[in-house]
Structure 1
Amino acid sequence: MQTKSILGEQEIQAMLQAATAKAHENNWQVAVAIVDDGGHLLGFSRLDGCAPVAAHIALEKAKSAALGRRETKGYEDMINGGRTAFVSAPLQGLLEGGVPVVVDGQVIGAVGVSGLAKELDAEVAKVAVAAIG
């Protein structure tokens, strides 16, 4: 039998706090979604002034990073590089800004951020992941 770490309430709150602190520090309006390894929502925050659609996009980025076990930037790069057939994959968050949470070599969840330029979305997501080590 294999065992793995899971994201608990303490880790989820630490990630949300780190991401929202980074956003507040820069006056960025973002939505942040945290999911488990199956893409199920564990934590969420949409800051004041953030567009409602960003909530949907952040969750889809998180789901895609968790289920695909990779940063969503990889999907966006594949599509932009000419592998356009990949848009028919059964994932919706194929834009940069989804980052998996990896512990002991296993993906245990992911963070998705939306509301900014794609590189900044990814930066906020990585700050969230770094908050738990």
Structure 2
Amino acid sequence: MATKPILTLEDAKRVAAAADTEAQANAWKVVIAVVDDGGHLLYLQRSHDTQFGSVETAIAKAHAAVAFQRPTKASEDAVLSGRLIHLALPGVIPAEGGVPLMRDGLIVGGLGISGVRSFQDGQIAQAGANAL
């Protein structure tokens, strides 16, 4: 039987803290969602004054990054280049800000950010992923 690394709650908090540091450095109000390798919510953080519509979007971005095993920016880029089939795929979020979390070449979870412009969400997400 194979073994694999798992994303712990402590790991999720560390990733979220790094993402939060990036968001605060830019005065961006965001929602930070961390999911496990099955796409299930492990940790959620929302600034008190962040729009509540970003909660589900951040979770969906994190889930999509795990489900499709790539950053959500890949779907955003595909749609922007005319590959509209991505819009028909279940669970696709064609907006930057969702990234898979990797350990030893395996996906252990996903990070989703929502609240500011797409490329800014992506910048925050990358800062969080780098903490892992």
The answer, yes or no, to whether TM exceeds 0.5 is yes
- CA drift of 1:6 comes to 0.6
CA distance in 2, matches of 1:24, 1:86: 32
CA RMSD of aligned residues (A): 1.1
Residue type matched to 2:21 in 1? A
- The answer for unaligned runs of 5 or more in structure 1 is none
Matched residue, 1:26: 26
Matched residue, 2:91: 91
CA distance in 2, matches of 1:49, 1:66: 28
Instruction: Work out the percentage of aligned pairs sharing the same amino acid.
Output: 36
Normalising by structure 1, we get a TM-score of 0.94
- CA drift of 1:86 comes to 1.7
Q: Is residue 109 of structure 1 aligned with residue 109 of structure 2?
A: yes
**8 Å contact from structure 1 (residues 62, 93) kept in 2:** no
- The answer for unaligned runs of 5 or more in structure 2 is none
Counting matched residue pairs gives 132
Normalising by structure 2, we get a TM-score of 0.95
CA distance in 1, matches of 2:129, 2:109: 10
**1:33-48 aligned within 5 A:** 33-48=33-48
Report SS of the residue matched to 2:35: strand
**1:1-133 aligned within 5 A:** 1-132=1-132
**8 Å contact from structure 2 (residues 76, 93) kept in 1:** no
